[in-house]
Amino acid sequence: MRAAARWLPRFQHPAQFVVAGFASAIAVGTVLLSLPVAREGPASASFLDALFTATSGVCVTGLIVVDTPGYWSTFGEVVILGLIQVGGFGLMTTASLLVLLVSRRIGLRSRLTAAAETKSLGLGDVRRVVTGVAKVSVLFEFATALILTVRLLIGYDEPLGRAAYLGVFHAISAFNNAGFSLYSDSLMRFATDPWVLIPIAVAVICGGLGFPVLLELRREFRQPRRWSLHTKITLSATALLIPGGMAFITYSEWDNDATLAPLSVPAKLLNGFFHSVMPRTAGFNSVDVEQMTEGTWLGTDVLMFIGGGSASTAGGIKVTTFFLLLFVIVAEIRGQRAVNVFDRQVGARVQRQALTVALLSVAAVVIPTIIVAEATPEISTDRAMFEVISAFSTVGLSTGITDSLPGAEQAMLVLLMFVGRLGPITFASALALRNQEKLYDLPEGRPIIG
């Protein structure tokens, strides 16, 4: 037994458990989707198609290389739905538990501060985190599914069973920010229907806020002064990004005959709002993304890269990382020695963590973009960058080039989805847990900047 134990993998860090768990889920999903019963027709799916779809499902991305309703059977669709649910629930739970772990590994004074700041995550209350995430997920998914089912039943004459199936699938896909759809045109057929687009957008927003924020809002919704710094940053950033993105996309596409121009003014505003929410990182689309202007693509790139809230189903570098760095810039411009956000001071260690995550994420986007652009000269650089950011930020929006990429580049997107989903979470926790105290400081140097 001792000899056998030597061959077992030894996990020295919690992040290793996270990576191993999600890799195992992807492996199981790949096997299930490779079965002949998972595909429409006599043949089974290729390994790369099954791997790509399983990774996209577990990492709640939504990028596809085959048409979901046309290629996969009902069994395959249920497998994808299960992978989305496992991936979304696992992400929210894992991220929340890592917050607990980090708060328990810091000093006593910092621990007390963390306990006061993260009221939604009590130190050591693991069971409450898990059950809380489950309750939140079921609540939002059930409410969204109910609205969609009734709308499809009454407004589109779908049979009850079919309406319920479509409602549940899209509700789970929306709350988990996955973006998988059982319609070949995603949600373009519902471009003028607020009863479909708004519930899905609300589910995406709530899933992208994260469990700590949702739980804190439930407890202290009427007392904003008692909200933690994390909740204040997440809600403030969301309140700025969604209207800002809506204004930009609506203005940019207003006269585009292939997207918003044929729609009425209310429908234009509805779709501008919807496409401002999706980069948080859902991936549904109600108008043709491929026909959008290059300026809209670039603005969407920025929204996708920022992503949603920490400890949520959203991807990207997270709004807390982005806006914390924005506050650092403001403090430096003003000549302030400390970085103050709302009524709290942010420590230098947290600033370095945010900068590290952001710069590594930039590298994770730039290098694959260059590879795709060089390997496929027929694809423009802006399309290649859009696809890479969508994969890394686990968004799922596409300009229509995913299925036309060579196998090697599709495999790279698989790795990018995996790294983009787990990388920021595990790496940030690793930085927080890695705390080495030095007994001395080197003399200060001042290199020339700029």
Instruction: Please state the rounded mean pLDDT for residues 140-159.
Output: 96
pLDDT of 67 > 70? The answer is: yes
Q: How far apart are CA 423 and CA 361, in angstroms?
A: 9
pTM, full prediction:
0.87
Instruction: Please state the rounded mean pLDDT for residues 274-296.
Output: 94
**Better-predicted residue by pLDDT, 348 or 256:** 256
pLDDT given at position 109: 42
pLDDT of 124 > 80? The answer is: no
For tokens 């945010």, what's the residue? 354
pLDDT given at position 1: 47
H or E segment and range at residue 346: strand 344-346
Instruction: Please state the rounded mean pLDDT for residues 405-411.
Output: 92
**Better-predicted residue by pLDDT, 96 or 374:** 374
Q: Which two tokens stand for residue 118?
A: 């993260």
Q: Which of 14-18, 138-142, 250-254, 318-322 has the lowest mean pLDDT?
A: 14-18
Q: How far apart are CA 281 and CA 303, in angstroms?
A: 9
Q: Which of 1-15, 62-76, 427-441 has the lowest mean pLDDT?
A: 1-15
pLDDT given at position 115: 41
**Better-predicted residue by pLDDT, 138 or 423:** 138
What letter would DSSP give residue 111? H
Band (439; pLDDT cuts 50, 70, 90): low
pLDDT tens for each residue of 339-353: 988 888 888 878 888
pLDDT of 64 > 60? The answer is: yes
Indicate the SS3 state at residue 258: coil
pLDDT given at position 349: 79
**Better-predicted residue by pLDDT, 118 or 199:** 199
pLDDT of 11 > 60? The answer is: no
Instruction: Please state the rounded mean pLDDT for residues 235-257.
Output: 95
Q: Which of 10-14, 189-193, 340-344, 349-353 has the lowest mean pLDDT?
A: 10-14
H or E segment and range at residue 340: strand 339-341
Band (428; pLDDT cuts 50, 70, 90): low
User: What does the CA dihedral 130, 131, 137, 143 come to, rounded to 10 degrees?
Assistant: -170
pLDDT tens for each residue of 318-329: 999 999 999 999
Contact 162, 127 (CB under 8 A): no
pLDDT given at position 435: 55
Band (7; pLDDT cuts 50, 70, 90): very low
Q: How far apart are CA 169 and CA 109, in angstroms?
A: 46
pLDDT of 10 > 70? The answer is: no
**Better-predicted residue by pLDDT, 182 or 133:** 182
pLDDT of 120 > 50? The answer is: no
Indicate the SS3 state at residue 250: helix
State what percent of residues in the chain have pLDDT above 70. Answer: 82
Contact 107, 136 (CB under 8 A): no
Instruction: Please state the rounded mean pLDDT for residues 108-127.
Output: 45
pLDDT of 46 > 50? The answer is: yes
Q: Residue 273, Cβ neighbours under 10 Å: how many?
A: 22
pLDDT given at position 305: 95
Mean pLDDT, the chain, rounded, equals: 85
pLDDT of 273 > 50? The answer is: yes
pLDDT given at position 126: 58
Write the DSSP string, 314-375: --SS-HHHHHHHHHHHHHHHHT-SSEEETTEEEPHHHHHHHHHHHHHHHHHHHHHHHHHHHH
Cβ neighbourhood burial of 320 (10 Å; 0-12, 13-18, 19+): buried
Instruction: Please state the rounded mean pLDDT for residues 129-151.
Output: 89
Q: Residue 411, Cβ neighbours under 10 Å: how many?
A: 15
Beta-carbon contacts of 71 under 8 Å, excluding residues fewer than 6 positions away, are 39, 40, 45, 49
pLDDT of 110 > 50? The answer is: no
